[in-house]
Amino acid sequence: MNRHLISAADLSRDEALLILDTAEELAQMADRPIRKLPTLRGRTVVNLFYEDSTRTRISFEAAAKRLSADVINFSAKGSSVAKGESLKDTALTLEAMGADAVVIRHPASGAPHRLAGWVRGSVVNAGDGTHEHPTQALLDAFTMRRRLGRVDGLHVAIVGDVLHSRVARSNVLLLRTLGAEVTLVAPPTLLPVAVSSWPCEVSYDLSGTLPKADVVMMLRVQAERMNAAYFPTVREYSRRYGLDAARLALLPDHGIVMHPGPMNRGIEIAAEVADSPRSTIVEQVANGVSVRMAVLYLLLGGANSAADDGAGQEAAAAAEPAEVTR
Amino acid sequence: MTRALYQSDAGEAAGPGPASALQTGASQPKAADPARTRPAPLADGKVVLESVEIARALTRVAHEILERTNGASDVVLLGIPTRGVPLARRLAARLSQVEGRPTPAGSLDATMYRDDLRLRPARALGHTEVPASGIDGKIVVLVDDVLYSGRTVRAALDALSDIGRPRAVQLAVLVDRGHRELPIRADYVGKNLPTSQREVVQVLLAETDGRDAVLLGAAAGR
């Protein structure tokens, strides 16, 4: 793990648990009269969003502000990107403005990885194409742990448009790291080609998977990324892979329903299921702020983050041999 | 060496070298800085307080709190993690025993308010638990194991003001080892221990370390 958070696969089990434990402490703050900590005072976090987003951008903004960081929001619409500026030039501009962290969402898979090579600050992946969305996976794991008390040993079914879902990929990687068993449920057309190499099971039968699942995570049908016919009709998809009240009854009594949002009510999830007490959808949003605070604190709060310039980097370099001998 | 100056107890002084928090996370127990919960043992440490003496000091401090706060009816004890927390609970037990009514005790983590965060890797947070009665209008007694630079207490005062507005804030410590860097003093002291800055004071408590003792020794490897 370096000073960036680009993939859920970068996190070891202990690192992931440290983030979740930190988020747990920070979540307490939501009940306090003053919901602000001075920890990142004087640091700048840039939200660089090349794709539309409501909850993720607001969540990162709220997280940074609660830690007293300065937040600059940058969306591709109405900016120099519309005039054709490249990602690299935009990155160098942000660098020159002194960004300590860049939270990036980009339609191209791998954009945060490239960005990490161009800027000195920390890069946090807030969703890149169909690749990864690690903070979503962290907040999902956090929500599971809060509701069910643990992640280790849970059986999680991730259902729907896995092919276009960065949430599914990050969740499979992180949940595996944390000791959960994941089953992907989707029509064969909506599974990635290499899914057999993922550390999870695959099923085409939702009703058969639900009775042994502790968590069922519904994915949004990403019509905007679908450039071909992946299923015959929306109605057929909804019949076979949608979660309605009858299917919800198959889930064990303690089972919970998750959705990363935004939902297509009536397609992958029925309105009555989304609004049921077993649904954690609103909790997931609240937990997102705590988890993102934890990530920003752990990346920016201590020594050898970007803002400490040369001294920090030298310290990091000096620490590496020690790590090996330990 | 400057690094050590910011540290309030020996456990911290024996902390890990510079490496990112996420890297050192590998060796960390749940939600705790390993240096704080499992200090490097002071091999040549001299025992300056035995278990009985710690108990006696805490009993005396408890009685001082009762005297100074008119029976401790409005007192809330908040321990500063890690070892302030069991000390606060022990004091609360003694106050309850004498006065016959429970004294609320909790914990207050000030990590996010520290002024030395950027000198070290981001560390795991301690637990904050404010008793349900709250702190508004109460007399809050902060409890810590060792008072050294005073920087932890400064951070705790800031953390406290974000939680509420106590009528008064007092400070109780088991050991005051001197070398203050801020205008902060303790209201209740278990033991004044004159030290050199090269020395390390380590408090061991049954709740966190399996036995009660205060050790004084030379800093290992520094």
pLDDT for res B200: 93
- Tens-place pLDDT, residues A73-96: 988 877 777 778 899 998 898 888
pLDDT for res B153: 97
A139, A270: one domain: yes
Q: Are A245 and A270 in contact (CB under 8 A)?
A: yes
What is the pTM for the complete model shown?
0.86
What is the percent of chain B where pLDDT is above 70? 79
A126, A241: one domain: no
In a domain, A119, yes or no: yes
β-strand partners of A5: A124
- Tens-place pLDDT, residues A118-136: 999 999 999 999 999 999 9
Q: Are A175 and A137 in contact (CB under 8 A)?
A: yes
pLDDT for res A248: 96
Residues from chain B that touch A305, judged by Cβ atoms under 8 A, are 20, 118, 122
A108, A138: one domain: no
β-strand partners of A155: A181
Spatial neighbors of A246 by CB under 8 A, at least 6 apart, are: none
Cβ–Cβ gap B28/A18 under 8 Å: yes
- At residue B169 the predicted structure's pLDDT band, cuts being 50, 70 and 90, is very high
Average model confidence (pLDDT) across chain B: 83
What is the percent of chain B where pLDDT is above 90? 71
Mean pLDDT for the stretch of residues B160-185: 96
- Looking at the structure of chain B, the number of domains it has is 1
CATH number at residue B31: 3.40.50.2020
Average model confidence (pLDDT) across chain A: 89
A155, A235: one domain: yes
In a domain, A312, yes or no: no
Element (H, E) at A124: strand A122-128
**For residue A45, what are the domain limits?**
8-133+284-305
| Alpha helix stretches (DSSP H) within chain B | 2-5, 10-13, 21-24, 34-37, 51-68, 84-99, 151-163, 206-209
C-alpha A252/C-alpha B145 separation (Å) is 48
Q: ipTM of the predicted structure?
A: 0.82
Q: A187 vs chain B: nearest CA distance in angstroms?
A: 38
> Minimum mean pLDDT among A111-115, B8-12, B193-197: which range?
B8-12
A296, A275: one domain: no
C-alpha B160/C-alpha B64 separation (Å) is 23
Of A15, A24, A303, the CB nearest to B25: A15
In a domain, A311, yes or no: no
Determine contact: A62 vs chain B, CB below 8 A: no
Per-state percent for chain B, helix, strand, coil, to nearest 5: 35, 20, 45
Cβ–Cβ gap B163/A22 under 8 Å: no
Of A32, A34, A301, the CB nearest to B122: A301
Cβ–Cβ gap A21/B31 under 8 Å: yes
CA dist A263 → A217, A267, A269 (Å): 12, 9, 7
C-alpha B194/C-alpha B167 separation (Å) is 32
In a domain, A319, yes or no: no
CATH number at residue A94: 3.40.50.1370
C-alpha A157/C-alpha A167 separation (Å) is 13
Q: A190 vs chain B: nearest CA distance in angstroms?
A: 35
**For residue B143, what are the domain limits?**
2-218
Cβ–Cβ gap B23/A1 under 8 Å: yes
- At residue A306 the predicted structure's pLDDT band, cuts being 50, 70 and 90, is very low
Determine contact: B128 vs chain A, CB below 8 A: yes
- Tens-place pLDDT, residues B88-126: 999 999 999 999 999 999 999 999 999 999 888 888 999
Spatial neighbors of A81 by CB under 8 A, at least 6 apart, are: A50, A90
pLDDT for res B135: 94
In a domain, A322, yes or no: no
pLDDT for res B210: 92
Cβ–Cβ gap B30/A21 under 8 Å: yes
Length of chain A: 326
> Minimum mean pLDDT among A293-307, B9-23, B171-185: which range?
B9-23
Strand A155-159 vs strand A122-128: parallel, antiparallel, or unpaired? unpaired
C-alpha A127/C-alpha A121 separation (Å) is 18
* 3-class DSSP assignment, residue A186: coil
Q: In chain B, count of helices (H) and strands (E)?
A: 8, 8
Which of the pair, A229 or B147, is modelled with greater confidence? B147
Q: Are B43 and B61 in contact (CB under 8 A)?
A: no
pLDDT for res B93: 96
| Alpha helix stretches (DSSP H) within B128-189 | 151-163
- Tens-place pLDDT, residues B40-92: 566 678 999 999 999 999 999 999 999 999 988 999 999 999 999 999 999 99
Residues from chain A that touch B126, judged by Cβ atoms under 8 A, are 25
C-alpha B124/C-alpha A21 separation (Å) is 8
Cβ–Cβ gap A25/B28 under 8 Å: no
- Tens-place pLDDT, residues A147-156: 999 999 999 9
A215, A139: one domain: yes
- Looking at the structure of chain A, the number of domains it has is 2
Residues of A with catalytic roles: 55-56, 83, 105, 133
Determine contact: B210 vs chain A, CB below 8 A: no
Interface test with A, best of B85, B118, B157, B162 (most A CBs within 10 A): B118
Of B23, B117, B162, the CB nearest to A301: B117
Cβ–Cβ gap A21/B162 under 8 Å: no
In a domain, A323, yes or no: no
Determine contact: A77 vs chain B, CB below 8 A: no
pLDDT at A318 over 90: no
C-alpha B116/C-alpha A181 separation (Å) is 41
Q: B70 vs chain A: nearest CA distance in angstroms?
A: 29
Cβ–Cβ gap B125/A3 under 8 Å: no
What is the percent of chain A where pLDDT is above 90? 75
- At residue A261 the predicted structure's pLDDT band, cuts being 50, 70 and 90, is confident
